[in-house]
Amino acid sequence: MKSLLCALALVTVSATALLPSQAMAQVGVNITIGVPPPPPRYEIVPPPRVGYLWAPGYWNWDGRRHVWAGGHWERARNGYRYDRPQWQHGRNGWELRRGGWQRGGHRGGYDHRRGGHRDYRDGGDHRHR
């Protein structure tokens, strides 16, 4: 009975050790359609929050039409940068690149090279349009 409990405890600890790495995994899915997105909406960005960054809103696709997904706070992640979702026109139509967290950032920053938005720490204009 004692060896059975030890084996069960070992399996539980092993499974628990794997959970954080699985929770960090991301799946990249892009959507391609023939209809361009409407112009971006103006959002008032709330004051900065320590340990968080603002993810600006964007036009999402619900399968039939564009729907606005409002901006929200994301907990900063060291060693990652946040790329905002954005639409790009290509050979096959309009493609929504979902963005999200990518390795290679600094202090959980926002990649201002994508879409002209800047990180709060750089003194830039943060009224995401």
Six-digit token pair at 102?
A: 């990518």
Six-digit token pair at 84?
A: 């905002």
Instruction: Return the pLDDT at 23.
Output: 43
| 68: nearest Cα among 94, 39, 27, 33 | 39
Instruction: Return the pLDDT at 112.
Output: 44
Instruction: Return the pLDDT at 33.
Output: 84
Instruction: Return the pLDDT at 46.
Output: 94
| 15: nearest Cα among 26, 25, 23, 4 | 23
What is the value of pTM for the model shown? Answer: 0.59
Instruction: Return the pLDDT at 126.
Output: 39
Residues of the chain whose pLDDT is less than 70? 1-30, 105-129
Instruction: Return the pLDDT at 24.
Output: 46
Instruction: Return the pLDDT at 1.
Output: 61
